[in-house]
Structure 1
Amino acid sequence: MVADQFGLRAIPTVYFLQQGQPIDGFQGPQSEKFIREILTHILQTAEELKIAQATELMATGKTAEALPLLKEAHQLEPKNSDISLTYAEALITLNQLDESQKILNTIAIQDQDSRYQGLLAQIELQKKAADTPEIKQLQETFAQQPENAELAVQLALKLHEVNRNEEALEILLTFLKKDLSAGDGSVKKTMMDILSALGSSDPLTNRYRHQIYSILY
């Protein structure tokens, strides 16, 4: 009998099952507050569900698909260090180093553990790997000719190749703020091409498209 199996001694008797096994419950009439406390303990929050889904995707190499879920979870619980670190880790995997650094900058001092330090080190290593001799040379030349739109486009494209997209977009935006037709339109075209390549899910896309539209209108 089910009653004997679960040891029913009162009405109502409520059990919460997970994979066929009881994980919590209560017997007899209970207050609404008591029931809500049990449900809060058992049921996953919206951000916990998103993190669980994202973790499964990341485990199978689908980090790009996991990123929107992690972003939503982070927006729901921006002070949750575990969520923030997982979000930052995904951004690093996708080579979105600047965005990852911004997330890590929000981590409270007491939560800056070995995982946090490891992610910082990973960002530093990837940035060094992306600092190619060709980029260094272009940066030095551009520093001497900061008004050269053609040189700005060349540097932006090289930065984009190594996923240093925020740096690339910032260089181009500086020119567009002064002249929308800079470089005979090549600056604007290059910027729009980079944004298209990043895709609508990348945080940089919305931010820089908004800035371009604010210049246009």
Structure 2
Amino acid sequence: MLLNQPADTPAPGAAGGDDIVIDTTTKTFMKDVVEESRTRPVLVDFWAPWCGPCKQLTPIIEKVVRAAKGKVRLAKMNTDEHPAVAQQLGIQSLPTVYAFVNGQPVDGFMGAQPEGQIKALVDRLTAGAPDSTEEILLSADAALEEGDLVGASELYAHILTEEPENLKALAGLARTQLAAGSLDAAKAILAKVPEKGANDAAIAAVRAAIELEEAAAALGDVKDLEAKVAADPLDHQARFDLALALNARGKREEAIDQLLTIVRRDRNWNDDGARKQLVQFFEAWGPADEMTLLGRRRLSSILFA
């Protein structure tokens, strides 16, 4: 499953990759407006080159939208070139502005309006919207935690549109792709990390998670590994492989148990390999994760008993 990623090319009509004010078409309306409005409100300015009031309104609405600093998008549609959407919405006069939220038109106006009226509309639409990158990151992280992979992907991608080298957003988007089973996409995102961010904790955690996924992919069925361990409890390699396979299937505490068993029985096996693998687990899961905290406590109780 490959989720949406930050676009490598500017949106239609958006100079320099600007995704705040764009030109949209009948073909791109679904993506530019309907889908985007599930992440943030989108104003659609229906206009035509012959429309005098349109020429008055456009610079005002662009100014107000840009002042909102990305919390709302403006999509401009030339109805002479792309009449279908305006016809479907029953628009009979220009300019007309529709506001879309969660895929539906929820507000709007007809005719040129003063800046104060447009600002009031934008304020209504963005009330309660995150004010900062950190707040958007928190929302994205929460969506990922809840399993809303599409929502998380859209939020991380939105940040990266504004800040292409934001390490937390890059790490979050890579994690989202990893959770969706798109290992190659996750690796491609990490390839975009600037050299100065290579050792960032969040980036290192995703890299560790990817390495674990790759290692687990070649291990085979968990039941076969469990059978090998049952047949020979001192087969540390089989137990080590079982730990990797269990972790890949979300059975993290069981994975901890297997590695701790090796540490307890033979600390020096494979050059302290079981302890080192636990440390990689902890790095991939994050320092505050409950399984990391549990694993560290249990490892310490063995090492310092």
| TM-score greater than 0.5 by the shorter chain | no
Judging by fraction of residues, say which structure has more helix. Answer: 1
TM-score by length of structure 1 reads: 0.39
Query: Greater relative contact order (Cα 8 A, min sep 6): structure 1 or 2?
Result: 2
TM-score by length of structure 2 reads: 0.28
